Structure 1
């Protein structure tokens, strides 16, 4: 770990928990809260060489959205020029593989069970959802539900309130200067965090709520796109007033969508 016991002034790094093809996992403790976490360290150069950059981005995006007791929580993502660090919920029970290896089903029995698609849905699953899962997990490829059929299903077509989605995925984005290795980007996800509103938005909330939120900064990519990120000690209301003043001077106007996203638009002559 770069021969340091403290990562980015946030985590005290402890013993190594595991090692994979592209990185290592360490036990760590949050300096401010004392919480135990697992730090997953990924070597950027290795994933770039094998073309797994998009997969890592997808993993970050999905883990930020998922909130489930059976799925490890992603607390924070940090990056330097050469490494990406995931701060994950610490599962002290050990590797799942070893527990599965000791289960009552041997490999042959498990394979037969999977091939027959033998499973039971939780009681709280709706009839529409069960029907959809049965179609997706159909062991016969010829009758298995296609993507187009999934999109036509009653469960899939149910509308999702944007406000509820924002509440579930509330999060903050921050940038900092690492004590080593140059500029660092970190993205944190907080459980049970209230969705930001107009009265407590800060500059990072404004940026992060954009539907075009970009993880490319973690990988040092820009694709020719230029952008600026900033923080402010001023309250959100003062920042918005200043934005409107600047927009007016440029013959632009600031508009706010239903889900709280601010946009700049040209004024009609």
Structure 2
């Protein structure tokens, strides 16, 4: 199981948000104690890093546990995903966790689970997120309602899903694991898209396309398993078709114990509708479940379909001005917010938090000098130590640069740079050194 997902803590409904406190947990009335750097998992009543009190366990997976907690400052409820650093590093899942956080910190939308805070100790990483007490749509339909949704309810959830995905796509984030299990419900019965562990961000694109095969087979677009790249927005669109079919039938369009046979059915469009299925909804699903991504109905295109527009609300009010939010925004210097800057620092960057304790091979600092001055000074300092450095510079404000310096090799046989010496040589151009 990947670190971004969690299985139930018991055999009762599979969504962790619906689980009661674990029977093995200590008495919640026990005197709470603070967790600052413990390698053990939190327990009921524990105070996490002086900010959150653990209420109960929601679910657990191979690399993570999810807890309900409340903030000590205002008693607001949150979900906290606790990741085991050592297990993630050993399993080679570091990049997946980094991608999940990188994607979530770009997003702030009423129908997306929000990442409020990132914290860490020596052995654990804590993701503080929105709590969705209503559980996931898969559990709601299969285990609680035991029936399909009404057309009006399915349309309302689907409006919110499309709103969230339009927002994600205009910010360069492609989910790649859209399924009812990852669509949660908040206390007001509004949909929240969750679990960005398999998502893609602009940095992973090659020639404008994605190339990694991933996702849950029953919801995965056929082109993802073919050779060559694929469009992340169109693969999400395919998954939307599968989700809508499930909401209106309580079953999946493609089900087969053999994954290869399942993909044969997808490519041949081998699925059927119940006789009473709404005709306009059928048109939407047929449009989404087109094995050719070039002719498939798009996320933007569905907004103009009769079924989607029926009793519609102002999608613009939820999506915002998505048309004016090009991908270039992600690279704009002045688009960075405080969270963007903080998460680039060593103390909050997951790539640093997940390192195995070996010597650091990179450092960061900020400066108010020009790019030319910084490059020249770093070049001179590296030459003095006989090292080759790679320098990346980001303008985070009009007169502030954030500089990342990485070891690339040696000139005179020395393989390790002295970061203390480099800091000393650059002292007069530094604002702060991380």
TM-score, normalising length: structure 1: 0.54
Relative to structure 1, the CA distance from residue 251 to residue 5 in structure 2 (aligned partners, 3 Å threshold; closer, same or farther) is same
Alignment counterpart, residue 139 of structure 1, candidates 279, 284, 290? 290
C-alpha separation in 1, matches of 2:120 and 2:283: 40
Relative to structure 1, the CA distance from residue 83 to residue 257 in structure 2 (aligned partners, 3 Å threshold; closer, same or farther) is closer
- 1:170 and 2:314 correspond: no
Alignment counterpart, residue 401 of structure 2, candidates 260, 263, 266? 263
Unaligned runs of 5+ in 2: 1-40, 149-248, 256-261, 272-281, 296-322, 378-392, 404-425, 427-434
Q: 1:79 maps to what in 2?
A: 120
Deviation per CA, 1:55-98: give whole Å up to 9, x if none. 00000000111222222111011111211111010111124431
- 1:220 and 2:364 correspond: no
Relative to structure 1, the CA distance from residue 218 to residue 164 in structure 2 (aligned partners, 3 Å threshold; closer, same or farther) is same
**DSSP 3-state at the match of 1:62:** helix
Work out whether residues 59 and 65 of structure 2, in 8 Å CA contact, stay in contact via their aligned partners in 1.
yes
Task: Report the number of matched residues.
Answer: 190
Work out whether residues 209 and 261 of structure 1, in 8 Å CA contact, stay in contact via their aligned partners in 2.
no
Alignment counterpart, residue 88 of structure 2, candidates 39, 42, 47? 47
Matches within 5 A, 1:1-269: 1-3=41-43, 5-101=46-142, 102-104=146-148, 105-109=249-253, 115=266, 116=269, 120=284, 139-140=290-291, 143-145=292-294, 160-161=328-329, 170-172=337-339, 205=341, 214-220=349-355, 224-227=361-364, 260=398, 262-263=400-401
**DSSP 3-state at the match of 2:352:** helix
TM-score, normalising length: structure 2: 0.35
Higher helix share: 2
C-alpha separation in 2, matches of 1:57 and 1:162: 17
Unaligned runs of 5+ in 1: 122-133, 147-154, 174-204, 230-239
Instruction: Give the aligned CA root-mean-square deviation in angstroms.
Output: 4.6
Work out whether residues 47 and 53 of structure 2, in 8 Å CA contact, stay in contact via their aligned partners in 1.
yes
**DSSP 3-state at the match of 1:99:** helix
Work out whether residues 85 and 354 of structure 2, in 8 Å CA contact, stay in contact via their aligned partners in 1.
yes
C-alpha separation in 2, matches of 1:261 and 1:215: 27
Q: 1:197 maps to what in 2?
A: none
